[in-house]
Amino acid sequence: MPEKTIDRRTLLASLATSAAGVALSQHSSAGTRVAADSHGIKNWDIITDVLVAGSGAAGISAAIDARRGGADVLVVEKLNKLGGSSALSGGVIYAGGGTALQKALGFTDSVESMYHYIAHSGRKHPHLDKIQRYCEQSVAHFDWLVDNGVPYNKLFSDGKGLGFDEASLYYSGSEEAWPWRDECRPAPRGHVPWEKGHQGGKRLMRSLLASAKKLGVKTQKRVSGERLVVESDGRVTGMLVDIRGERMAIKAKRGIVLACGGFIHNREMVKLYAPELYDCSVPWANAGDLGIGIQMGMGAGAGALRMDQGFAIGPIYPPENTIAGIAVNQMGQRLTSEEGYHAVMGNVVTYKQDGIAYFICDKDSDRPQGDDNQPLVAKANTIKELEQKAGFPVGSLQMSVNYYNEHAKNGEDPMFHKSKKYLSPIDKPPFKVYDLSVDKTMYSSHTFGGLHTNVDSQVINVWGEVINGLYAAGRNTSGLPTSPYIASGISVGDCTFFGRQAGQHAAANKS
Ligand SMILES: Cc1cc2nc3c(=O)[nH]c(=O)nc-3n(C[C@H](O)[C@H](O)[C@H](O)COP(=O)(O)OP(=O)(O)OC[C@H]3O[C@@H](n4cnc5c(N)ncnc54)[C@H](O)[C@@H]3O)c2cc1C
């Protein structure tokens, strides 16, 4: 007997119909939020042109450009505070190709070098079309940030990592580390809003929120998007929201932008989709990072990509003296170049070593006294004794340290080509082992997986087609950040840039 087939529209329509009338709270916290059928909506409580869910960098950038595109824009935010994880962040934006700030500080850069660095940094099959558009428009995007009031200081920092100083430009990735320094011309691309002491995200969001307000974007706090509303042809035209316990329906005539962030605080989702991140000790995001935007999109048929990938770091520097130490696995074998960007080592530890790793140092490369982020495992006067005390297989750590020292004394690192300035033999007692494992050290993580979108930030369904009326950006989507994450600033850069694409295209969607 031939099998009965069901086409996708019928399937979507039947999913929507069966969901109509289901209470908002009836879903598992890791499940999808099946879209509601528009026929079940008797009255729209609010009508706008463009509705944005989420008030972080992606949502507010979308709102600004949608408003500039002539649309009435309403932003709803689940929490009592606007700004999302973006406001908690360092605010670093990865920009290049010759931005006004790079030029003012005397650095030359090209779109090609920037593209090459992002596209070919050890990641498997990244979204090349998105990377290309991002790099080609990076100079203009930086100007857009400045035009929206984000201040940058004409000061460069040559320190490794985001400093507590007032510099607005630094090398935020592994550009100067091997193999990248040989493959594409390095340039500093970490652009930090001018605010002292890791407060760049606060500064970024203060400026963008002020700009949105000036343009007439409306914002509503403590309003949680719960489910999308779809027409029988699959078009998304509205959203059911929870306003302080009351359910309301919002119609969006031109489009809806999902910008609700990732899902690191939805532990069931993390266990299901990104198990490697589950044991990382510090879920790093604001409290709204619950995956609701991803669930809403999936409930309207959207595909979700790279859900297992994420940012995961247990930094060994600053200070820079520690870079002369080595990171090893439980077999005492060295893992990677210690001078690379934190998330490159984090990726090796989290995804390739079952989350287990150790840091080996001597007196000169020791961690700062009083910094207990990484627990001390063992201390000894010889490497042999250290190996025994820490429980490495007999001879393994001695072999790794001897090999490393033999070449380091000549300024060489045949294995990972660590820069000369970070190479010195590990030969001054006391020797120490610190735990770098994801569940033992302070290990920050957040998610990269999310809805499938195209370069215009339109959401793509599981059949590979655009879902009319639905847009998404930021960590609600699978965008530029993938594992390994190769530079600070790629996430907020992606959020602001593809948020803008979403806003522009939603505003222009008058079909
Ligand atoms: C301490 C820290 C430092 C960081 N530093 C950097 C950095 O310097 N550079 C960089 O690139 N990345 C950095 N990151 C990562 C970066 O902050 C995030 O990836 C990025 O801000 C995500 O932005 P977003 O707009 O997608 O989401 P968010 O900024 O998190 O905004 C999403 C908003 O949606 C709201 N929301 C959730 N569900 C709903 C719903 N159902 N309805 C309505 N609203 C909802 C949330 O409450 C939240 O306010 C850092 C992260 C942390 C935690």
Question: Which amino acid belongs to residue 407?
Answer: H
pLDDT-derived band of residue 17, with 50, 70 and 90 as boundaries? very low
* pLDDT tens-digit readout, 359-394: 999 999 999 987 878 999 999 999 999 999 999 999
Best residue for ligand 1 mutational test, from 61, 86, 494 (most atoms within 8 Å of Cβ):
86
Question: Which amino acid belongs to residue 332?
Answer: G
The mean per-residue pLDDT over the stretch 127-148 comes to 97
How far apart CA 442 and CA 276 sit, in angstroms, is: 16
Distance 479 CA to ligand 1 centre (A): 14
Indicate whether residue 288 lines ligand 1 (CB < 6 A): yes
What is the overall mean pLDDT for the chain? 92
Indicate whether residue 88 lines ligand 1 (CB < 6 A): yes
Indicate whether residue 310 lines ligand 1 (CB < 6 A): no
Indicate whether residue 260 lines ligand 1 (CB < 6 A): yes
**Residue environment code for 112-142, b if the CB has 16+ CB neighbours within 10 A, otherwise e:** ebbbbbbbbbebeebbeebbebbbebbbebb
Indicate whether residue 57 lines ligand 1 (CB < 6 A): yes
Ordered by start, the domain boundaries in the chain are 1-310+448-511, 315-435
Task: Please give the pLDDT value at position 11.
Answer: 35
Distance 86 CA to ligand 1 centre (A): 4
Lowest mean pLDDT among 26-40, 214-228, 258-272: 26-40
Indicate whether residue 24 lines ligand 1 (CB < 6 A): no
**pLDDT greater than 60 at residue 18:** no
Distance 459 CA to ligand 1 centre (A): 19
Distance 310 CA to ligand 1 centre (A): 13
Strands (E), 110-186: 169-170
Tell me if 334 sits within 8 A of 350, measured CB to CB: no
Write phi, then psi, for 84 (nearest 5 degrees).
60, -165
Tell me if 419 sits within 8 A of 176, measured CB to CB: yes
Q: What is the percentage of the chain residues whose pLDDT exceeds 70?
A: 94
Indicate whether residue 243 lines ligand 1 (CB < 6 A): no
Task: Please give the pLDDT value at position 6.
Answer: 35
Write the residue with the smallest CA distance to atom 4 of ligand 1: 89
Indicate whether residue 76 lines ligand 1 (CB < 6 A): yes
Indicate whether residue 448 lines ligand 1 (CB < 6 A): no
The DSSP secondary-structure symbol of 302 reads B
Write phi, then psi, for 177 (nearest 5 degrees).
-95, 155
* pLDDT tens-digit readout, 475-509: 999 999 999 999 999 999 999 999 999 999 999 99
May I ask the CATH class of domain 315-435? alpha beta
Choosing among 3.40.190.10, 3.50.50.60, 3.90.1560.10, 3.40.50.720, the CATH entry for 1-310+448-511 is 3.50.50.60
Best residue for ligand 1 mutational test, from 32, 150, 260, 482 (most atoms within 8 Å of Cβ):
260
Distance 462 CA to ligand 1 centre (A): 25
Tell me if 504 sits within 8 A of 69, measured CB to CB: yes
Distance 9 CA to ligand 1 centre (A): 33
| Lookup: tokens for 195 | 């605010």
**Whose CA is closest to 391, among 346, 433, 436, 437?**
433
Q: What is the percentage of the chain residues whose pLDDT exceeds 90?
A: 86
The mean per-residue pLDDT over the stretch 149-178 comes to 90
* pLDDT tens-digit readout, 58-108: 999 999 999 999 999 999 999 999 999 999 999 999 999 999 999 999 999
CA distances from 126 to 22, 30, 43, 204, 351 (A): 38, 26, 43, 27, 17
**pLDDT greater than 80 at residue 321:** yes
Peptide bond into 318 cis (omega under 30): yes
* pLDDT tens-digit readout, 343-364: 999 999 999 999 999 999 999 9
**pLDDT greater than 80 at residue 5:** no
Indicate whether residue 84 lines ligand 1 (CB < 6 A): yes
Neighbouring residues of 19: CB distance < 8 A, sequence distance ≥ 6? 34, 35, 36, 37, 227, 299
Tell me if 434 sits within 8 A of 367, measured CB to CB: yes
What CA dihedral angle connects 499, 350, 294 and 117, to 10 degrees? Answer: 30
Residue whose entry in the numeric block shows the structure tokens 């042809």: 233
* pLDDT tens-digit readout, 20-50: 333 333 344 877 799 999 999 999 999 999 9
| Residue 318, phi-psi category: left (phi > 0), alpha (psi -120 to 50), beta (remainder) | beta
**pLDDT greater than 80 at residue 196:** no
Task: Please give the pLDDT value at position 184.
Answer: 87
Distance 81 CA to ligand 1 centre (A): 12
Indicate whether residue 261 lines ligand 1 (CB < 6 A): yes
Indicate whether residue 498 lines ligand 1 (CB < 6 A): no
Neighbours of 507 (CB within 10 A): 22
**pLDDT greater than 80 at residue 15:** no
Alpha helix segments (H runs only) across 230-341:
267-273, 275-278, 292-299
Residue whose entry in the numeric block shows the structure tokens 């370069």: 455
The secondary structure element, H or E, covering residue 458 is strand 458-460
**Residue environment code for 469-498, b if the CB has 16+ CB neighbours within 10 A, otherwise e:** bbbbbbbbbbbbbbbbbbbbbbbbbbbbbb
Distance 317 CA to ligand 1 centre (A): 24
How far apart CA 111 and CA 77 sit, in angstroms, is: 35
**Whose CA is closest to 362, among 424, 437, 435, 440?**
424
Single pTM value for the model? 0.94
Indicate whether residue 172 lines ligand 1 (CB < 6 A): no
Task: Please give the pLDDT value at position 406.
Answer: 98
| Ligand 1 atom closest to 224 (CA) | 42
Indicate whether residue 282 lines ligand 1 (CB < 6 A): no
Task: Please give the pLDDT value at position 122.
Answer: 67
